[in-house]
Amino acid sequence: MSRADETVAATPPRRGASGGMKTVTGAITHFLVGHGILPVALLAAIVGFGLAEPRFLGYENLFNIARNASYLVIICIGQMITLLVRGIDMSVGSTVALVSVVTALAGSAVLAADPGAVPLAIAAALLAGLAAGALTGLANGIGVAIFNVSPFIMTVGMLSVLSGIALTISGGMPVYGLPDAFGRFFAYAAPFGLPVPMLFALGLCLVMAYVLYHTPLGVRIYAVGGNRVASHLAGINTRLTLVLAYVLCSTIVGFGAVLLTARVATGEATLGGTLVLESITAVVIAGVSFFGGIGRLSHAALGAVFVTMMTNGMNLLRVDSYVQQIVLGLLLILAVIIDQIRGRLLQQQIPE
């Protein structure tokens, strides 16, 4: 071999354009699988609305976003749990309505019996609301786990049932009579300059992070969502896990409904009408999979912030409410498409 041939043989092959493209594609794929589209969408929303409307990044508006997002964060945590077990809860809006009416009826009844029993009225309102939420989740869980009703059909049916109950017991009218302290404590206080609903949402996130990532129940929820048959063969009581997941979901939604009731100061049978679309859009765009067993709590919370920012920004730009519904619907469709793509990419990364 000549010296020229030796030089050619020792020279490493150059990375062409195709190699660079493969590297970029691989990086995008890795980012999409790990984080989904949410970080990009969140950054785009902040930059876009910030440039289009200077008030968007003002302190007062950011305060409002934080307060409004807190309610959706709580609802999204509940919705996320049902998606983790490969289910869905289409009744979250009606659950909010029923809990709102029950909360107001319980608090006003105690206050009517004893006008001085304000702490007791607040406690009764809170406990009644959480109990109504838990019972709703129990009904959903039994239908899905014991009677094998499709989660979609079960919760759509409950949507109608709960709405009817809320309208019946309220007479179709707002329920007044809650003590003023109820609203101050659960809605309008601002310790350390932070809206109190935000503090409740942060506290709930910490509690649920512990439950999902450091308790046997959390492990079972992810396992059942990932593969229900394998979980059953591994000794997990899959039916009990499903029931507990739905009870946990609706109890959390009930807590969010109590906070919303405190904000409006009345029990409203029409409260929460848009929460189904908003919560599903938020958690799916945050990377919580419809196929179960995949999703991060922190991402679900950020998804709720993103949806709230979108609504807030469109309101500042005076976008018609009907157009906003179109935008949210398109976001949901986009999120589902991305979820499908992520599912296929994850399958490709599993070694055979």
pLDDT in tens, 182-193: 999 999 988 988
CATH 1.10.1330 fits 38-340, yes or no: no
pLDDT tens-digit map of 19-71: 666 666 666 556 556 556 788 888 999 999 999 999 999 999 999 999 999 99
Half-sphere exposure (Cβ direction) of 289: Cα atoms closer than 13 Å: 22
Residue 7 — pLDDT band, cuts 50, 70, 90? very low
Residue 126 — pLDDT band, cuts 50, 70, 90? very high
Backbone phi, then psi, for 156, in 5-degree steps?
A: -65, -40
**Across 87-99, average pLDDT:** 97
**What's the CA dihedral at 300, 301, 307, 308 to 10 degrees?**
160
Residues 6+ apart with CB under 8 A from 163: 94, 97, 98, 269
Residues 6+ apart with CB under 8 A from 80: 283, 288, 295, 297, 300
Q: Are 99 and 132 in contact (CB under 8 A)?
A: yes
Look up residue 145 and give its two tokens.
């786990």
Strand partners, 267: 175
For residue 333, count other CB atoms closer than 10 A to its CB. Answer: 12
Residue 120 confidence (pLDDT) above 60: yes
| Residue type for position 41 | A
Predicted local distance difference test score (pLDDT) of residue 98: 97
